[in-house]
Structure 1
């Protein structure tokens, strides 16, 4: 017996139509370090980028500008702005790119140049990178400065301030070259990169609103124009946005509405047109003048301002950004198409508008409109309120217009759990707060009473910016009171945010019994591929075509809709089902992945522009004329002969009908195999004991004279016109002390028995991450799959399994994974891992890694 044959006979785990995932091994930081090293290595091939970074730091160091930027005299000489250009400083559009305004900006600019500049040189070449950088820096600054001056002439206050400013920084050129290089990418990545870049530069311009921020926008516009000149022959982006893209855009808009105000906290001098929106979401530390004014007003006001100071100097400052965090969580829910996120986003924005109007009415009531100052204050207040109303109003309009894209409703049980969790946390915290505060009532001003504490209870749960909307309770003055007041209110917010985030990110679905019956009916009536019977297993969900003539079994993991084999149904409808199922997934924010599919499905997917990888090799044995004659069948004949001499016989059973004595042996053999492996029994396309318990599945059992089971195989039907015309091997187990050639014996016996019954073929199922050599040069990703198969060979024996199946002289049919989005490959890999090993423990993961490391 050869070594390969011995290994194959030791494979008791049966066929695996798809490869298992490898748990992420330890040493994650090493991977990051390796990535950084590879990125640094790329700089050696980016001379323009290295030169610019060196020039930036050398000029900064030589002029003492690294810490706080150029001094006033140097800034006037090198900074670009309307006034410097009017003074004849024609060189400033270029010279402004050689300095930064602070050390932070030096670091940010360096990282941006290193990443984007290197990318540009690799994809466009150094010469085009220089042209793009210079064009964006010069034309972008001139365009931005010109627009600021036009706004000044039009009477806009913000642009009037910008026309008086000057700016330095290379980020104008960086933004431009980033937009330019995006033109070299595929339509998918081009859209994503440009969307991200546009969001970044627009948020900075609209919220922080400095001249440099505006110049980055105009630099990006110039970069787009340069890219159009460079790459005018590239295919244009298709018109119209998909459901997924629309959801991403809406979610990004809501996220920007949350991130922008948070940015203004870091820049108190922010003057963008949307900077006033921060007054709706975030607050800042009271300054010395505010403290002085409050203490001059009254004792209570003095205690209140000092309590606020203590609050802002503690970790409880997190409470100030809770409204912004809520919007971010809702943005994630919108990205996933959740109806609850849409409803809550509407409610939150309506609440923000109501707060603005309430504050405006309240403040207007305190104005003396009989004086010119009062009337001026009223005009200023109305204008400020209109500005603050614009963003929530725009959010509501956008949500209403796109409401049809957010139809994924959560189960009522999930909504009830959220309500109970949030409501329960509010009640529990309220009880703890009132009880504990009363126990230390002398640490409040005035001394706390139960009624007074209850009166101010609502303000405890409100972020500081909204605290004046509710009645105020006693003010904390002692350390215990401060801790109680500052942290109790955080708990319900955190519970709400975590609960919403978990339920928004959950992909749990439940297929109805009606869906399962309908899918099985389509499969039985019209048939499918050799693996289509896997679609009947528990854990699958079902899509059926509008005409009811085709179906797809799938499960949703990490936003990936992972199919269980090919579409099944009417042969003429199967290819069409690929595109229809993809549209179904798009409407729900999922990325489809057809897994372990045949050439027919692959062609349908590639017609849609998808990519594919071979992930397994199907092995089909035609039964017509099958005879175990000749040298190539020697191993099979040997197993049959040895079984006869040992008194081993084969019996067909259906597991639900088998005697208890047999089913208990089968369970014991399977459990022994799992224990020996030290790994959980795999699922998804690999059947276990649960899948045996099906009246349509046939089991062939090898028994000796004592009715001891030596091995078992299970066979799933392959239908056509309502009748099985072939059978696919699934479950394979052998007793560790049993007859050594039992698998060969059982498969050969099955083939002979099914041939006599009129079956056309048997499939030994797929050999995962292994394939026969067809003389074609593999693509890079295919080589990666091949290397992964070799690495996993000592643990799972994929190639040994394929060699074992070769004993039966099968016809080989490649099985593919088809996917529309190459960027989703890491997520697809994780989804496949979760599908196969959903219950792997940490100990089992460590054991697997050790086995791989020892190979």
Structure 2
């Protein structure tokens, strides 16, 4: 497609989106009679009972709203009718939006009959379960239980949420996981912080929908497999951390919040007394509870203190973004924050219950805090801390060297500057404080201005502001500091990073671009690699140490005439560390070097290469490729280059969804080492070619890594390949052929279709071959030359390749690439000591599947047995 054509497509995208929304609305109106009928009934009932403007009438509250009292009096129908009224005009408008944008499309998707069953069951059962829980809560927490007991609940959002969870059972893996985690994080937060009966009903309805979903709409073709990419795991952890941070703010927005964690709304409470009144109270007794409450209220009163109290929440949201990006610093800071919250909760518990001063407590509930309410704030950070510790392996991305030194310098400079302003201006307007401070007392007070006020109640303020100027200085100094801190930390997350050794990776990239390497050399820049740099500074070896084996990724990078020296020097470096060196997925050129050194080696994969000079997919042998190109044209599917880091979210989110589906199909984590995923395409140097139709639906995606020679790109290597399961079927043939033709126009010399691990041209690719493997005489001769251990290892890899075929399909992949009539280039593994082959085999397996658990290993074995 020409640049003009692509520009036309892009320009018309908003129009297409508008048409799609209009079509969705029309299809919803015609295909959603139950949801739209319910919406009409809700409005009619609201108007008839005069409930639209000011909420449910007394008649509705007494006879149709859900409540413990209503159930005890035998009004069982309230479990159904409570979903037919909304809470005021805002509730009715919100219900309309929910039904039109959520319920109607879901009904159109799952069918009206299933929708009706899902709505009815989740509304009735969810309400009944919530009322039962409300009765039990009273036995644990009298305050919260009493409010639930006398409360009533109405709202159609109950069955809408329930239907969403029911429908999620048949959704794609990515959205099923995100919807469930996101919704339950939100609903749990509402139940624990806001704590009203309706919040409990929502949570119970969602739980019922989760349990009944498979029975009502069935399961996804991929089942409920939990295997996912590391990238998606980071997103889910970030959601959990963000939800835990937003909870106190949600409680604060609800002035009548009664949940077990509602005590945390004190973080945002306003003032009830003036400074003069508080001083009069404290003059009588500094230890009096009213004095302490008054001092705290003054600190929390006004816009500035409220904003300052929100700053830690904002900072945690910034850290959540860092977690989403896999940043190690974000993980460490989040862990530190949760530990600090735990320490505060434990200190509060100790002061309130272990000490003898019953009046001192960091958190106050609606009434005098009890043991349960004091422990409640301890539970949330504990749960988040457990999640963070359990997922530590996801967060291994570090910023470039010096990033956090610069960050610390900037934050310290900001603090020093604010201290100078606070002391200088404060001294000039010192008569605006209730007690005139000295410069020294202002300086001593400055650190407290940076701390959210609620954490200062154990400290008695020496002076308080009593004028507009001093109030501005007293309340907003800390806000400025926290804003700078958030912006600076967020900037560190936006800095480019490539893994645990970001600076070494940057150096490796520069050397690779300057000299060049093999077709797989860009893989040396991937996360997980460590680097050995040659003494001359012109080359390097990328490796990872697993079980005492220094396993490399491809050939050494650098001038090709220096290969012998690089191999020798790296081997000596590895031996000095007590490691066994092993060069993996290397070219025949490197194997010739190691053979001359007396090393052993054998073929482990087959690289497929297309020469682009004069390439034309003509003739009978390219029939499948031409068919794919022609079908794409007829179907309105075209190829489009994108850079994943800068591509529109509408496209990248589809790529993520396609990738997650592919991983779910395997039921195992993504393989790594020489096989890339979404994380590896998130690189501005990597190009992605997507198959997209006129509606901007992505049907397939491939990624292409640059191959350098003498400072310029001479070819591209295929890495990431994913196809939408229900999309354009020959998407991969179309994309590879399109990439070859487009790159040929750009002047590239070749494209490599990369290698297929554990697969060779002469290896059997079907199961109807006898156990001897059918290898030819030359291969047998090669085995004899390597010795007994080498032959055993070769046999093990051959059997492993055949066994893993039902799960990962390496041999099928090699057969697929044969459609393009490529050149086959052997890839080898070389090693100095055949006795280390068992350790090398273990290292290779762990490199490809570093995160496989015992349960996943059992599932892998079952899958291999079941499909093999």
What residue number does 2:193 align with? 207
CA distance in 2, matches of 1:185, 1:449: 66
For residues 51-86 of structure 1, the C-alpha deviation after alignment (integer angstroms, 9 at most, x for no partner) is 222222222222222233223343011111232122
For residues 226-267 of structure 1, the C-alpha deviation after alignment (integer angstroms, 9 at most, x for no partner) is 421133353203234432233223222211111111100011
CA distance in 2, matches of 1:99, 1:482: 46
8 Å CA contact 1:337–1:589 kept in 2: the answer is no
CA distance in 2, matches of 1:21, 1:310: 57
The two structures have a TM-score, normalised by structure 1, of 0.59
Identify the match of residue 386 of structure 2 among 380, 397, 401.
397
- Structure 1 residue 340 and structure 2 residue 325: aligned? no
**Counterpart mapping for 1:241-320 below 5 A:** 241-279=228-266, 282-287=267-272, 295-298=280-283, 312-314=301-303, 317-320=306-309
How far apart are 1:366 and its partner, in Å?
Answer: 7.6
Q: Secondary structure in 1 aligned to 2:51? A: coil
**Counterpart mapping for 1:126-145 below 5 A:** 126-145=112-131
CA distance in 2, matches of 1:431, 1:260: 35
CA distance in 2, matches of 1:363, 1:392: 19
For residues 86-119 of structure 1, the C-alpha deviation after alignment (integer angstroms, 9 at most, x for no partner) is 2121321221112123333333322222221112
CA distance in 2, matches of 1:303, 1:207: 25
What residue number does 1:44 align with? 29
How far apart are 1:481 and its partner, in Å?
Answer: 1.2
Q: Relative CO higher for 1 or 2, CA cutoff 8 Å, sep ≥ 6?
A: 1
What residue number does 2:81 align with? 95
CA distance in 2, matches of 1:582, 1:86: 64
CA distance in 2, matches of 1:497, 1:176: 37
- Residues 440, 368 of structure 1: CA spacing in aligned structure 2 closer, same or farther, 3 A cutoff? closer
How far apart are 1:360 and its partner, in Å?
Answer: 4.4
How far apart are 1:403 and its partner, in Å?
Answer: 1.6
How far apart are 1:384 and its partner, in Å?
Answer: 3.3
For residues 305-358 of structure 1, the C-alpha deviation after alignment (integer angstroms, 9 at most, x for no partner) is 699669744366321211111111112211221110111112112222233344
CA distance in 2, matches of 1:369, 1:618: 75
How far apart are 1:602 and its partner, in Å?
Answer: 8.9
- Residues 607, 215 of structure 1: CA spacing in aligned structure 2 closer, same or farther, 3 A cutoff? closer
- Structure 1 residue 183 and structure 2 residue 271: aligned? no
CA distance in 2, matches of 1:407, 1:54: 52
CA distance in 1, matches of 2:130, 2:292: 48
8 Å CA contact 2:261–2:376 kept in 1: the answer is yes
Q: Which segments of 5 or more consecutive residues in structure 2 lack a partner in the other structure?
A: 360-365, 523-540, 544-552, 555-582, 588-606, 609-641, 656-669, 690-701, 705-715, 753-818, 823-868
CA distance in 2, matches of 1:491, 1:468: 22
Identify the match of residue 485 of structure 1 among 474, 492, 500.
474
What residue number does 2:102 align with? 116
CA distance in 2, matches of 1:230, 1:126: 12
CA distance in 2, matches of 1:352, 1:148: 28
The two structures have a TM-score, normalised by structure 2, of 0.58
- Residues 274, 329 of structure 1: CA spacing in aligned structure 2 closer, same or farther, 3 A cutoff? same
What residue number does 1:321 align with? 310
CA distance in 2, matches of 1:588, 1:387: 42
What residue number does 2:429 align with? 440
8 Å CA contact 1:136–1:173 kept in 2: the answer is yes
- Structure 1 residue 547 and structure 2 residue 584: aligned? yes
Q: Which moved more, 1:338-347 or 1:270-279?
A: 270-279
What residue number does 1:474 align with? 463
- Residues 475, 160 of structure 1: CA spacing in aligned structure 2 closer, same or farther, 3 A cutoff? closer
CA distance in 1, matches of 2:17, 2:279: 51
CA distance in 1, matches of 2:110, 2:217: 10
Q: Secondary structure in 2 aligned to 1:547? A: strand
For residues 194-247 of structure 1, the C-alpha deviation after alignment (integer angstroms, 9 at most, x for no partner) is 222222222211221111111112211222334211333532032344322332
What residue number does 1:225 align with? 211
CA distance in 2, matches of 1:227, 1:115: 20
8 Å CA contact 2:271–2:300 kept in 1: the answer is no
Identify the match of residue 181 of structure 2 among 170, 195, 199.
195
Bigger radius of gyration, 1 or 2? 1
8 Å CA contact 1:97–1:137 kept in 2: the answer is yes
- Residues 400, 527 of structure 1: CA spacing in aligned structure 2 closer, same or farther, 3 A cutoff? closer
What residue number does 2:488 align with? 499
Q: Secondary structure in 1 aligned to 2:225? A: coil
- Structure 1 residue 409 and structure 2 residue 409: aligned? no
CA distance in 1, matches of 2:382, 2:720: 47
What residue number does 1:86 align with? 72
- Residues 495, 38 of structure 1: CA spacing in aligned structure 2 closer, same or farther, 3 A cutoff? farther
- Residues 379, 297 of structure 1: CA spacing in aligned structure 2 closer, same or farther, 3 A cutoff? closer
CA distance in 2, matches of 1:718, 1:54: 63
Q: Which segments of 5 or more consecutive residues in structure 1 lack a partner in the other structure?
A: 1-14, 371-376, 529-540, 564-577, 622-684, 688-712, 721-810, 815-855
For residues 494-513 of structure 1, the C-alpha deviation after alignment (integer angstroms, 9 at most, x for no partner) is 01111112222444556444
For residues 772-795 of structure 1, the C-alpha deviation after alignment (integer angstroms, 9 at most, x for no partner) is xxxxxxxxxxxxxxxxxxxxxxxx
How far apart are 1:388 and its partner, in Å?
Answer: 1.7
- Residues 26, 556 of structure 1: CA spacing in aligned structure 2 closer, same or farther, 3 A cutoff? closer
8 Å CA contact 1:244–1:335 kept in 2: the answer is yes
CA distance in 2, matches of 1:234, 1:27: 31
What residue number does 1:851 align with? none
8 Å CA contact 2:170–2:219 kept in 1: the answer is no
CA distance in 2, matches of 1:275, 1:220: 22
8 Å CA contact 2:398–2:497 kept in 1: the answer is no
Q: Secondary structure in 1 aligned to 2:258? A: coil
Number of residues of Structure 1 aligned to a counterpart in Structure 2: 589
What residue number does 1:166 align with? 152
8 Å CA contact 2:271–2:294 kept in 1: the answer is yes
